[in-house]
Chain A
Amino acid sequence: MDAKRPDRRGFLKSGAALAGGLTLGAVEPASAQMPAAPTMIRGNDEMIAYGGRSSFVTSVRIPHGNRPSPDAFGLVFHVAAPLQDSVGMITPSSLHFVGTTRGSFIPDIDPREHRLLIHGLVDRPLTFTMEDLKRLPSVTRPHFIECAGNRATPEHETVQETHGMTSCAEWTGVLLSVLLKEAGVRDGAPWIVAEGTEEIKGASSIPMAKAMDDCMVAYGMNGEAVRPQNGFPLRLLVPGFEGIFHSKYLRRIKVVDRYYMTYNDYGHLRQGPVEARLGWQIGPKSVITFPSAGQQLPGRGFYGVTGLAWSGGGAITRVEVSTDGGRNWMDAEIQGTAYRMAHTRFGFQWNWDGQETELLSRCTDEMGQVQPTRAQVAAFFNVPRDPGYRVPGMDNSIQPWRIARDGTIHNAIA
């Protein structure tokens, strides 16, 4: 912001002259509608070293879960990503949601000191430095992580509040199966316990079938080192499973003979067998990010409706949009590649006639699992659906947005 803002009248004159020169005998210049020349930013060392975003882009994360982050002690609990401003399928690292088990400080880890220990029911316990891990064959994959607390309520006023506890990054690291094979898992060992370095050393039990399938020990995130709030220097990715499994600041993997029932595990336990099966693996879920609650349509006409779809069950194969409150459904366009356990961007062309209506999206994954409405879930469990109805297990229900005649948009969960 060092440069002086040019005088607007001077711009109008020169702009008109320029436009006139370019459009001799062609389209009338619309100089009065052309923007003023922008202020010029003088380069500085900071922006040369590590670029920042425009000062006009103000999209930010917000504390989530009715608890301040940071709190008075500096603990971070839950922080939601601004999905209403998202484009594409990748969440920028600076805006990736953050979740901690009970509120946590961020460990300031020197990667040269960091170690990953693999032990327990293995033939060869092993310790890896970060340097060791980076020598091993790597994979790069986009994966979403979603917090089990990502649950819309009628009180939520924006998509950031209803759905902001999910994000998608491109992760780079070593498949956990590579490390486990190097250590030599003993026959039939059914579980691992993954543990972090933060003050409570959060630990989660993970079935061996998942550990050997597609779990990743990630040191890279969106083309650079994993950010501290997301587990620097090393985090576990457990694609498609609830966020709490994705241990940050990963320091230890113990191969064990049974479900260890850690504090984190205990939090998953449910009374009903059906609800228990709706935990762990996240169901197919989608949400329209534009237009969404809190935004304002300027008037009737064309809108490129867009949103995100994801599933813990694999790739998204179909997204449908309804522009009439769920009476009719039409296929949306899946934009780009639909990766397994990754946010998938969809688009839908819509001409708004200016009348009140509801916009909804629903998705289907590669297993054929379909995203349900809240009414369908309530009917499945044979319970009345009141506005406060709590979808059992991981809530993947359809999110309705009500478009009012004045173009305001509201959460239509009821």
Chain B
Amino acid sequence: MRLLRVLATLSFVMLLGGSALAQSPTYGVGSTPTAEEIREWDISISPTGKELPPGRGTAEEGALVYQQQGCGVCHGADGTEGQAPRLIKLDVDPDSARWGLGRVLPIRAPYATTVWDYINRAMPMYREGTLTADEVYALTAFLFFKNDLVSETEVLDAESLPRIEMPMVDAFAPMPEDWKPGMPRLEGYPY
């Protein structure tokens, strides 16, 4: 009985392995994740695209994925009509302000990575997070092609995607990124 308990304890300690024994410096709690665990969890994509995974896709392929995944059920067959948000820019005079293109993610997002990141983490509804990297690149390419940002055959991958210049990149007012504790929302507003 006692031997069993010792063996059980021993194997438990061995299971923990070297890295998991590392704990936080002040309180000695928590454990150290493996690089593989972090990779698996980390789905945040910087505007620089540095976390983008390997893979590739074109608009041609994306049109197929759009059909196969049933995107049109919510977004409409051509991405303009459906219960879910519109995916294609509004048909406006090309000379009119870029704000007239509408609140349409693949045209209004300031960075291409925002579009890739959102499709990857949040689509398709009910099967979020199940698309392969190739499928996400292809869908992103398809939506960018439909919004006149890339050609139908342009290959999007970790290198080319962050280089797409989005039309709204410098259209937005800066957010209060210099926020500090004790700072009013807007000095002097309103009275």
Contacts and interface: CB of A to CB of B under 8 A. Distances in A.
Contacts of A193: 44
Interface in B167-191: 171-177, 179-186, 189-191
A269 B122 CA distance: 20
A368 B46 CA distance: 37
B113 A127 contact: no
Interface string B105-127: 10011110110011001100010
Contacts of B121: 200-201, 203
A248 interface: no
A3 B29 CA distance: 54
Interface stretch (B35-43, B62-70, B153-161): B35-43
Which A-B residue pairs are the 4 nearest by beta carbons? A182-B24, A200-B122, A276-B173, A273-B173
Contacts of B122: 102, 199-201, 263
A99 interface: no
A369 interface: yes
Given A259-B177, A261-B114, A262-B114, A124 B44 contact: no
B77 interface: no
A113 B156 CA distance: 37
Interface of A: 102, 117, 119, 124-128, 132, 135-137, 181-184, 190, 193, 195, 199-201, 203, 207, 209-210, 213-214, 251-252, 254, 256-263, 265-266, 268-281, 283, 312-314, 367-370, 372, 376-377, 380, 393-394
Interface string B26-38: 1101111100011
A200 B128 contact: yes
Contact of B172 (A260, A269, A370): A269
Given A183-B24, A281-B185, A201 B128 contact: yes
A37 to B, nearest CB: 54
Nearest to A377: B190
B129 interface: yes
B47 interface: yes
B38 A376 contact: no
A178 to B, nearest CB: 8
A132 B44 contact: no
A408 B117 CA distance: 51
Contacts of A376: 190-191
B164 interface: no
A285 to B, nearest CB: 12
B17 interface: no
Nearest to A132: B29
B11 to A, nearest CB: 20
A276 B189 CA distance: 13
A182 B176 contact: no
Given A261-B110, A266-B114, A278 B185 contact: yes
Main secondary structure of the interface of B (DSSP, over half): loop
B185 A283 contact: yes
A126 B26 contact: no
B182 A367 contact: yes
B141 to A, nearest CB: 19
A252 to B, nearest CB: 6
A274 B128 CA distance: 36
A370 to B, nearest CB: 6
B17 to A, nearest CB: 13
A363 B86 CA distance: 40
Given A199-B128, A266-B110, 10 more contacts: A119-B38, A124-B25, A184-B25, A199-B129, A201-B43, A261-B109, A262-B117, A275-B173, A314-B182, A370-B190
Contact of B41 (A102, A117, A214, A262): A117
Contacts of B48: 258
Contacts of A372: 190-191
Contacts of B180: 209
Contact of A261 (B31, B47, B129, B189): B47
Contacts of B47: 258-261
Given A132-B30, A281-B176, A125 B38 contact: yes
B173 A270 contact: yes
Contact of A127 (B30, B99, B173, B184): B30
Contact of B32 (A127, A135, A195, A199): A127
A182 B27 contact: yes
B22 interface: yes
A369 to B, nearest CB: 6
Nearest to A281: B185
Contacts of A135: 27, 29
